[in-house]
Structure 1
Amino acid sequence: MNKIIIASLRKNAGKTTVMVGLSKALNKKIGYLKPFGDRLIYNKKRLWDYDSALIANIFTLSENPEDMSIGFDHSKLRYMYDEKITREKVAELAANMAQGKDILFVEGGKDLAYGISVYLDAVSLARYIGGNLIIVISGDENTVFDDITYVKKNMDLSGISFKGVIINKIQNIDDFKETYLPQIQKIGVPILGVIPYQKDLTYFSVNYLSERLFAKVVTGEEYLNRTVKNIFIGAMSVNAALQQPLLKKEGILMITGGDRTDMILVALDYQAVGIILTNNVVPPSHIISKAAERKVPMLMVTYDTYETARRIDSIEPLLTRDDKQKIELLGKLVQDTINIQAII
């Protein structure tokens, strides 16, 4: 039984997507746990972590997502468990999730320090379970230098099987490998691979937006899986809009008022993948019919156009179980760029 602990030095380094890619590339039966959940979902009086539910759905795990974590709240964990009991709980959870599996993935919190006060940081988990620790690092060249140097100089990894670092989401991969990677390797931390930045992984579907904006679907419910690649704010005149190069790009989502029939027609003419109607205003019936004929989803929200755009800008494009192409891409990226044999 291989046990792999995935950690990241900073938030949003991409450890969950790297783990999904590793699982796809290995093509083995996996188990999963995230002892300290940090992406809380509350549904039907049940609590679980978003990543746990995601992994369970992608890889059709039989275990319930809520059983993959010990807890979600620092204060409750601090009150309920000391270090000895926490260690025992993690060991018990790992044993349960590993039954009948080839590989057990254990995911740490949002950064390397997260959970340390309740004994559930990633380094502690590696000590409890005895698996192989991998740290995912991302950022610009200087951030990568700093983080890997920090791992070398300031982290106590005694008693841990530390396999190395995966460098993720690098923008100019050829320049990085030629100019920076040789210097980084001299630091003395094992580099398991460098994964290039992929713009396609940052896109989300119309349905993803609909769920996070709590939107009402007016038309095109069966076409909500379309991918949003560019967002156009239709708060200008039609003549001004037609002069914008962005309008002619692929995967346009139009944000405009429900009373702006002129701008809605522009979006339909330019084959928008979706239209968000703001201010809770429903357009006239002939506009709704035309959108239905063109198979364009229209979503209605209560916010004004500015607030809608602001909320969309703050949405993190998390992986979902329906992102089949992204999941396959992650598997290929890991297969092509990571030294998998050095991990297992």
Structure 2
Amino acid sequence: MKEYLTKPENSLTPRLFVAATRQNDGKTTTCLGLFAAIQHKLEKVGYIKPIGQRFVKFHDHLIDEDTVLFDTTYDIHTPIESMSPVAIDGTFTRRFIDDPKGMHPVLVDSVLRAFDRSAYEKDMIIIEGSGHAGVGSIFNLSNAEVARLLGAKAIIVARGGIGKPVDEISLNKSLFDKFGVEVIGAILNKVDPSRMELVRQYTGKALEAMGIPLLGLIPDTETLTYPNLSQVVEAVEGRWLNGESTGENNRVRNIVVGAMTANSLIDYIKPGMLIITPGDREDILLLTIAACSVAGKRPLAGIVLTRNIQPSHHIMEMIAQTNIPVVISKGESYTVASRINSMTVKTQPQDADKIPVIKKLIADNVDLEMIMKKLNINV
């Protein structure tokens, strides 16, 4: 009979658990930047995301998407399956509820063995949580429980502001407190640059009264909110008609719906622009092709053709002679535009332009020395 671990064998490597108050508050961005900043202080830094909810298949393993991002971005020297031991698929919760006594020790053992492997010969390890402190409670492995299990101290990441983030940080801290996990501070992400000092002053005071140091404020940065064209294609359930290989990583900075005359549209065409138009608006397509044919002029992010209307054979031949990325979707133009505007843009492995921005944001705006001090790391 297999003997399951109930605590990690590694008790020496300093470990930091990074949680968030909500999904998409900037937890992965914070971890990416912290990893780079800590690497300037310590030679060997480890990473693990014990519980993953969004995953891809990688060499017969279900691997969390954020783990793939870390493995691609940094040379961590740890098997990727050890950095993402548990992936929550669509039937996982039901299977656990049917057999909690059988599954729980297996899950705990998987997390602990993966942690020991990920922390092996590391000077420090970052543990990325999955959402807020309570995520995973239904299978007795909430973020707070995992942090306790691994003997980690925690940082809470919240969205910038004064009242709401303090309330949310307080709520999350209460669950960490319940499991005996020390919260060493909070980081506010996506703070309005014009309100940085105001937020620092008042949110800092409110958190200080709760015994939570404010470790940093990360300003909202437009560059990190721009999706690439491949993300847009997924969001609008589109398919490529032209320029996929050269345009999939084009950054979409603005969108314009081609409901105007072609002559009016020409004034809107600029770098990073995505044009959304039905495929039968050949006047718009012809003018766009002409505008983009001038060397170095008006480089578009791309065109999304709507209502599943494909242009005439003649227009398609003209498009094929260009490098303009063109996608077709079954949605109406304004439906497609709404989907793009409401997208949650997560950093992906191919976002090479974003990674340096993230590293600099964390290095410039987070008190790394305070974090190292709280983890009893001397450098």
TM-score by length of 2: 0.79
Instruction: Tell me the CA shift for residue 248 of structure 1.
Output: 5.0
Higher mean C-alpha displacement, 27-36 vs 10-19: 27-36
Q: Is the 2:144–2:176 contact (alpha carbons within 8 Å) kept by the matching residues of 1?
A: no
Q: How does 1:65-80 map to 2 (within 5 A)?
A: 65=81, 68-72=84-88, 73-80=92-99
| Aligned equivalent of 1:208, options 231, 234, 248 | 231
Aligned residue in 2 for 1:226: 250
1:283 is paired with a residue whose SS is: coil
**Does structure 1 conserve the Cα–Cα contact (< 8 Å) formed by 2:15 and 2:124?**
yes
Distance 1:153 1:30, change over 3 A: closer
Aligned to 1:197, which of 198, 202, 220? 220
Which residue matches 1:276?
A: 304
Following the alignment from structure 1 to structure 2, what is the Cα–Cα distance between the partners of residues 262 and 97? 57
Give me the CA root mean square deviation: 2.8
- Distance in 1, Cα, partners of 2:45 & 2:237: 34
Residues 48 and 209 from structure 1, CA distance in 2 versus in 1: closer, same or farther, beyond 3 angstroms? same
Q: Which 5+ residue runs of structure 1 have no aligned equivalent?
A: none
**Matched-pair contact (CA < 8 Å) for 2:144–2:175:** no
Q: Provide the secondary structure at the position in 2 that maps to 1:309.
A: helix
**Corresponding residue for 1:17?**
29
Amino acid aligned to 2:50: P
Structure 2 counterpart of 1:58, which letter? T
> Which residue is equivalent to 1:121?
142
2:8 corresponds to which residue? none
**Matched-pair identity in %:** 28
Partner of 1:251: 272
Q: Deviations over 1:131-155 (max 9, x none)?
A: 2211111143221232234356675
User: Which residue of the partner structure matches residue 358 of structure 2?
Assistant: 330
Pairing 1:143-154 to 2, within 5 Å after superposition: 143-151=164-172
Q: Is the 8 A contact 1:145 1:184 kept in 2?
A: yes
- The total of aligned residue pairs comes to 341
1:300 corresponds to which of 304, 321, 328: 328
Question: Residues of 2 paired with 1:59 and 1:85: CA distance?
Answer: 29
Deviation at 1:116, TM superposition (A): 1.3
C-alpha deviation, 1:168, in angstroms: 1.1
The one-letter amino acid of 2:326's match is: M
| CA-CA distance at 1:182 after TM superposition | 3.7
Structure 1 letter corresponding to 2:25: A
Taking the aligned partners of 1:154 and 1:211, their CA distance within structure 2 comes to 36
> Match of 2:362, SS?
helix
Q: 1:264 to 1:140 in 2, by over 3 A?
A: farther
> Counterpart in 2 of 1:141?
162
Decide whether the 8 Å contact of 1:30 with 1:103 is kept in 2: yes
Matched to 2:63, the amino acid is: W
Structure 1 residues 80 and 4, CA gap change in structure 2 (3 angstroms): farther
Residue 40 (structure 1) shift:
3.7
| Secondary structure in 2 matching 1:303 | coil
Contact kept? 2:55, 2:87, Cα under 8 Å: no
Change in Cα spacing, 1:264 to 1:127, as seen in structure 2 (3 Å) is: same
Matching residue of 2:204: 181
**SS state at 2:86 partner:** coil
* Cα separation, 2, equivalents of 1:67 and 1:336: 27
Asked if 1:33 is matched to 2:57, the reply is no
CA distance in 2, matches of 1:175, 1:125: 35
Q: Does the 8 Å CA contact 1:74/1:115 hold for their aligned counterparts?
A: no
Post-superposition CA distance 1:191-217 (Å, at most 9, x none): 111111111101111122234445332
SS of 1:322 mapped into structure 2:
coil
**Matching residue of 2:260:** 236
Maintained 8 Å contact 1:86/1:119: no
Query: 1:42-72 CA deviation, whole Å, 9 max, x = no partner?
Result: 6897533222222222224552348713241
Superposition map of 1:310-321 within 5 A: 310-321=338-349
Whether contact under 8 Å (1:164, 1:192) holds in the other structure is yes
